[in-house]
Amino acid sequence: MRGRKGQVLLFTFFLLAIVSVLVGVLSTVWEAKIKIGAVQKNKVAAFYLAQAGVERAKAELKNNWDWTGITQASKVSLGDGYYWVELTSRDDTTPGVYREVTATGHGQLGDMNKTVSVRLRVDIGVPNSYSYDSWVES
């Protein structure tokens, strides 16, 4: 009977060791999944911030075709992140008729950055007019 008690104790220690290893492995996997989820959430939020910058450019250009954008130094806070907009004019724009620009919205949340670019054409002298023909995200 004494030998069996020792065997049961030894079996219990081995079982406890196996369970401890499994708990350690599972907690490491769960921690990695949580970190990946947080990175994905920040990536999506940064994309939406960049998109907000492009929408801001579209709205501003409807009302003021001389609008020059928002610099990174004066970036706009929105929620937990920021956005800013760079405008690049095309050289072949017909002065006084239309202005064609590329609006590049930049979104930043923590260390995640996303960029969305749209090429816009604003007809000068026609209220609330713009069109776009390309949309690029990165």
- Which positions ≥6 away from 5 have C-beta within 8 Å? none
State how far the Cα of 134 lies from the Cα of 41, in Å rounded to an integer: 26
Among 40-44, 57-61, 95-99, 102-106, which stretch is predicted with the lowest mean pLDDT? 95-99
Torsion angle defined by CA atoms of residues 56, 57, 59 and 62, in that order, rounded to the nearest 10 degrees: 170
pLDDT tens across 15-72, in order?
999 999 999 999 999 999 998 888 899 999 999 999 999 999 988 887 787 788 898 8
In the prediction, which pLDDT does 93 show? Answer: 57
State how far the Cα of 107 lies from the Cα of 53, in Å rounded to an integer: 8
State how far the Cα of 61 lies from the Cα of 96, in Å rounded to an integer: 14
